[in-house]
Each structure stands twice: as C-alpha cells, then as structure tokens.
Amino acid sequence: SCHVSDKHIWEGSRYDVVAKDTKGTGKPGQRRDVATCESCHGLQPHPNDSLSNIKLNNHIDRIACQTCHIPTIARGGVATMTDWDWRTAGKTKNGEGYKEKEYTQGDGEHRATYKSIKGDFKYAENLVPHYGWFNGQMIYTTIDTKFDPSKGVVDINSYVGSATDGKSRIWPFKQMHTVMPYDKGNNTLVYMHLWGEDENAYWGNYDFGNAIKAGMEKNNLPYSGEYDFVDTYSYWPITHMVAPKEDALTCNECHVKDGRMTDLKGFYMPGRDSNYWLDLLGIIAIITTLLAVIAHGLIRVVMNRKRD
C-alpha cells in the first residue's frame, strides 16, 4: 500500500509531497512512513544489465519517476476537467437552472459541459502533462492574498523549485484553468454564499453580487462591493495513473528541440539545446579521431608493404 497511516495521518498527501526521495527502500521493515516510488523500487529501479538502463538510473536525481512513467493523464476513456468558466453561470430556462452534457468521454459516459450553478466546463483525455522543477513546496493564493490581475493569469497554487537548488526534480503536473470571480476593489479572491434557502444564495437566485457580499460578510472579510472575473491556473502534482512500463517515455520524446521539455529553462539538455563552441569542439574531436584512425590505417598498410 502506498498510503500508510499513523494515527490517521496519511502519507502521500499533496500538501506534503516528497519530491526527491534520497533514502530509497531503507532497511527491511522500515520506510513505511512515506509514499514515494523510491520507497518500494529503490534509488536504482532499473536493473543495471544494459547501457540504456544504467543511463536511466542516472536520471533519478533530476527526473521524477512519474515524469517518464505517466506519459499522459486521463487515460482509459475517463476524461479530466481542464477548464472551468464561472462567468457563464446563472443562465436559466423557463426560470429554472439547467445542465448540458455535450462531452462524451472514451468510455461512453456523458459529462456536463454547462451547469447553471457553476458555468462552462471543458475536458481532455490522454493529456500530456505540464512539466516543472519541483522541490515539494507549494505557494498558495489564499483569501487575503493580494494580486494584480493586469499582470496576467493568477496562480492559485504555484510549485517551487529550480534546476540549480539541488532539491528539485522535473515533475509532471495537471494544469487547471479557471475563470473565477474576485474583489475588483481589493484585488483578492472572494467567498461566495452558494447554497441555502435565503435570497442571497447563488444556487437559487444566480446573483453574483449578493452571493459574494453575503459570503464575505459571513467570514468577516472586507469587500469593496465590486467584483469581476480573473483567469487562474492551479497545478496538481501527478503520481497516480502510472502506465505499463512499455509505455514509458523514450529518450527522443524529451531530448529533441520540440520535445516535452521545450518550455523548461535554466539548464542544458543534450539533444534539445545547442552551444556553438561545445558543438564545434565535438565536431573537431570527431574529425580528429577519424583522421587519426585513417592515419593509423595508412601507416599499418605502408609498414606491411615495407616488410614484404
């Protein structure tokens, strides 16, 4: 079992991620307090019986196991939601809320693409993850976090890490896009009073202004009285949906110029990146080696003829 508990404290929480396990399996009977790939498979999960496997094991300190072994998410005919737009919520038919199910996922199930109480939804299947350097830490935008919507998309939660901190590895994430209401005067997120029998509950009266005002007052939070909508992203580290080993990523899916790691910066990746002087030295080394082999062969031919 991956999610072992101790006094109802479950390991493997997305709020306490071990992004780089350096202990592996540990001693027999130990390491039951973690939920990492390495705690079962060790720090050299591939058998050292070939050059390619040795090279794969050399990736462990920089690449999370999930990055290669979860090539896509939302497989097997079950879609994942990728977009949620609150702006369109509140539409009615004959005075009543309604829903539309216009997306049919691979297993035949129809998924809601619109709900009066929530807005529009979009889905995806066999989705290539978003990749980033991750050290296990997340920064969350909370109800009192101020932001500047004019600067672009607001991260509801952003992952922390870099190629140079020695603690991070490249991880796969699900990136979720949501358009949600915010306090236009204070530049903060808002609480909405969604459900209830009163006139301010959004899931009955479909009035954003009243629902936000009631939600903020109930939580004793300041509200300017003006709301608008802001684009947001949220990021979720992916650990489930491990594919069969034969479906793991191959070298040429990352080590190419337009591969999966194109957007990751700050480090040199063979096959993806190029350096003029390094490439020139490599070419010179190859030419020099080739000339040396030819010269050696010619010398052998000449010496053999002299002996004859």
CA distances from 238 to 81, 114, 166 (A): 14, 26, 21
Token duo for residue 183: 């306090």
* 182 phi, psi to nearest 5 deg: -145, 165
Residue 276, C-beta contacts closer than 8 angstroms, at least 6 positions apart: none
| pLDDT at residue 32 in the model | 55
Say if residue 222 is exposed, middle or buried (CB neighbours under 10 Å; 0-12, 13-18, 19+). Answer: exposed
Query: Above pLDDT 90, what percent of the chain?
Result: 72
| pLDDT at residue 22 in the model | 81
| pLDDT at residue 41 in the model | 87
Minimum mean pLDDT range among 11-25, 179-193, 194-208: 11-25
| pLDDT at residue 31 in the model | 52
pLDDT tops 60 at residue 30:
no
| pLDDT at residue 21 in the model | 83
Token duo for residue 52: 């390619």
pLDDT tops 70 at residue 15:
no
Token duo for residue 174: 């699900």
pLDDT tops 70 at residue 264:
yes
Domain locations in the chain as residue ranges: 70-253
CB 190 within 8 A of CB 219: no
CA distances from 222 to 58, 144, 183, 196 (A): 53, 9, 9, 22
Q: Name which of 3, 223, 156 is nearest 211 in CA terms.
A: 223
Token duo for residue 198: 């009163």
- At 32-54, the pLDDT tens digits run 566 788 888 888 999 988 988 99
Please provide the average confidence, as pLDDT, over all residues in the chain.
91
DSSP secondary structure string, the chain?
--S-EETTEETT-TTS--SS--STT-STT---S---SHHHH-S--S-SSSHHHHHHHTTTTTB-HHHHH---BS-TT--EEEEEEGGGTT--BTTB--EE--EE-TTS-EE-SEETTTEEEEEESSBPPEEEEE-S-EEE--TT----GGGSPEESEEE---TTSSS-EEEEEEEEEEEEEEETTTTEE-----SSSSTT-HHHH--HHHHHHHHHHHTT----S-EEEEEEEEEEE--S-PPPGGGSPPGGGTSSTTSTTTT--SS--BTTB--HHHHHHHHHHHHHHHHHHHHHHHHHHHHHHHH-
| pLDDT at residue 211 in the model | 97
| pLDDT at residue 302 in the model | 83
- At 237-262, the pLDDT tens digits run 999 899 999 999 999 999 998 999 99
| pLDDT at residue 276 in the model | 78
pLDDT tops 70 at residue 14:
no
The most confident of 37-41, 74-78, 303-307, by mean pLDDT:
74-78
- Specify the pairing of strand 80-85 against strand 119-124: antiparallel
